[in-house]
Amino acid sequence: MIGPQTLSFAPAELDGTSVLAHLRRALVTKNRGESPTLLPFGVVPVDDALGGGLEGGILHEIAAAREAEAAAASGFALLLAARTSGPVVWIAEDMALYESGVPYGPGLDDLGLNPERFIMVAAPKSRDVLWAVEEALSCRGMGTVIGEIRQASLDLTATRRLSLAAGRRSAVALLVRSAPGRDASAAATRWIALSLMRNRRGPPGSWVLEWNGVEQRFELVSAHRERVAQAAVDRSPSAASA
């Protein structure tokens, strides 16, 4: 089995004219009125809230409730990526990869993501991660591009550029954050774990889902999966005589 590929890079200078041309083409694409590509969860309440599923060709944010829970946010992003076709590119700061490690090939298989589809990119700083995500989203045939950042705040322009770049090729763009962002964002949805905090296509919501690795699908977990024990009966003599 071929494992995930890992790359590192030093960003080159971007030509301002070419960037503007790319942005204009993206705006044209977004304004054609074409039906968006949807990535359904297969869970009725979630898909109903999202208008049929997670919209492709636009940016989505997934944040951990706190840095200690970053693995849960990463796992959620990978599960979504596994449901797309084409290459999956994960771009993160090299220090974050050093501290947290990289996704494990057999683990990707368990999530339904063939490791041969997976490419890992290490970048020096958060701004380089954003640059690399935008460049990856400009490539043809891209399935999902995931950018992992630990920066506390982001510029609205940066997220708008990523959203426009995703629309250029109809790829799924995911921004994974180590903590919830309080800044303005162009993301269509903002998630904290499985709580949908912002949703441009419908209402927010919160669900408890689990991944069925055998059938490779999400399942909604009941709020009360096990029967609740009945209240204990007081059998003391004083209670009996009352």
241 compared with 220, residue with greater pLDDT? 220
173-182, 191-200, 233-242: segment of lowest average pLDDT: 233-242
The predicted structure's pLDDT at residue 238: 57
Which residues are 172's β-sheet partners?
58, 144
Residue 229 exposed, middle or buried by CB count within 10 Å (0-12, 13-18, 19+): exposed
Query: Which of these, 210, 184, 212, 208, lies nearest to 198 by C-alpha position?
Result: 184
Query: Is 242 contained in some domain?
Result: no
Q: By the 8 A CB rule, do 179 and 67 touch?
A: yes
pLDDT tens readout for residues 1-55 = 445 555 544 444 444 444 444 444 444 444 444 445 888 999 999 999 999 999 9
Do the beta carbons of residue 145 and residue 115 sit within 8 Å? no
pLDDT (mean) for 137-144: 89
Where residue 188 sits, what CATH number does that domain have?
A: 3.40.50.300
- Is 19 domain-assigned? no
Residue 224 predicted with pLDDT over 70: no
Q: Does residue 195 belong to any structural domain of this protein?
A: yes
Cβ atoms of 57 and 36 within 8 Å: the answer is yes
- Model confidence pLDDT, tens digit, residues 59-97: 999 998 887 788 888 999 999 999 888 899 999 998 888
Element (H, E) at 92: strand 88-93
Alpha carbon 215 to chain centroid, angstroms: 21
Range(s) of the domain holding residue 110 = 5-11+35-222
Q: How many domains does the chain fold into?
A: 1
Residue 23 placed within a domain: no
Residue of higher predicted confidence among 151 and 83? 83
Do residues 225 and 86 make contact, with C-beta atoms less than 8 angstroms apart?
Answer: no
Distinct helix (H) and strand (E) counts, the chain: 8, 13
Residue 172 amino acid letter: V
Per-residue pLDDT at 148 exceeds 80: yes
pLDDT at residue 234 is higher than 80 = no
